[in-house]
Structure 1
Amino acid sequence: MKKQNFFELISDKITCWTGSLWAFIIAFGTIIIWGISGPLFHFSDTWQLVINTGTTIITFLMVFLIQKTQNKDSKAIHLKLNELIAASRHASNRMVDVEDLNEDELDVLHRYYEKLSDVAEKDDDIHKSHSIDSAEKNSEEKNSAIKKAKPKA
């Protein structure tokens, strides 16, 4: 078994388990036991250091496991959305891989979709497409009609 597959298998199992009720109960129990043991250790610096060190190490490692799981989930969601976009005749195929755009480009798209939302709210037909491609087609048709309507000199 490859190291990457082993790491993925282990990280999936750990992140799944750490999100469970039992993991919370164990963590909560550990804190309760630590708190109760305070008087036994006279609330010493070592007593405090034990919980601080333990939680710091666990948190440090969990950041990487959670990020790995988040990356995998994000990639899967993007692939599913890409498939839906590709399968829909009304959706713009330009939206496939939109996650590769920079922040400014995403902001421009966001503003455009806010305008499309405003147009869609005013539209009586809820099934009418309001994608980037339909907007360009409408714009081309409008420009073509304007050119035909202008008197020739």
Structure 2
Amino acid sequence: MEKHFTKIANKVAHAAGKPVTFVACCGIIVLWAVTGPLMGFSDTWQLIINTSTTIVTFLMVFLIQNTQNRDGAALQTKLDELIRTSKAKNHFIGIEHLTETELEEIRKKCEEAAERAGEAAEEAEEAAA
């Protein structure tokens, strides 16, 4: 069941991002607008577009979120593997599970370390000159 859902979610998310899908949706809106005078701009006419767009939006949120979650997990796994197999510090593996505050602390420490490394490189260049 999960593989079937994943396959469908990928196809729908991919199709939703294509220009032809946007054009088709615009065409549906134009068609709906053209039928307004034929239906006397009735409540039913308005309900058709409101209900349709609400249903499509509701379903697309879940499909796109599912796709993004899997893409994010795959990317994180790839990064973790690169960290694990390199000289990088392995304590960075799994930091995506930390709180925002904990992540902010780590980010600040990384920025400070990068600044110190940059200053050291500048000093080395000046000493060599």
TM-score normalised by the shorter chain: which range applies?
0.7 to 0.9
Distance in 2, matches of 1:118 and 1:26, equals 50
TM-score by length of 1: 0.75
**Aligned residue for 1:13?**
11
Query: What residue ranges of structure 2 are gaps of 5+ in the alignment?
Result: 123-129
Matched, 1:112 2:109: yes
What secondary structure does 1:43 align onto? coil
**Aligned residue for 1:33?**
31
Which runs of structure 1 show a deviation greater than 3 angstroms over 4 or more consecutive aligned residues? none
Between structures 1 and 2, the one with greater helix share? 2
Distance in 2, matches of 1:19 and 1:111, equals 36
Pairing 1:44-63 to 2, within 5 Å after superposition: 44-63=42-61
Partner deviation per Cα, 1:53-102 (whole Å, 9 max, x = no partner):
0000000001110111011000110011111111221x111001110111
Distance in 2, matches of 1:24 and 1:71, equals 23
What is the count of residue pairs matched by the alignment?
122
Pairing 1:3-152 to 2, within 5 Å after superposition: 3-89=1-87, 91-124=88-121
Tell me by how many angstroms 1:48 deviates.
0.9
Distance in 2, matches of 1:106 and 1:14, equals 33
Query: What residue ranges of structure 1 are gaps of 5+ in the alignment?
Result: 126-153
Distance in 2, matches of 1:120 and 1:38, equals 66
What secondary structure does 2:39 align onto? coil
Identity percentage of aligned residues: 43
TM-score by length of 2: 0.88
Q: Which has the larger radius of gyration?
A: 1
Deviates more, 1:110-119 or 1:6-15: 110-119
More contact order relative to length (CA 8 Å, sep ≥ 6): 2
Distance in 2, matches of 1:82 and 1:73, equals 14
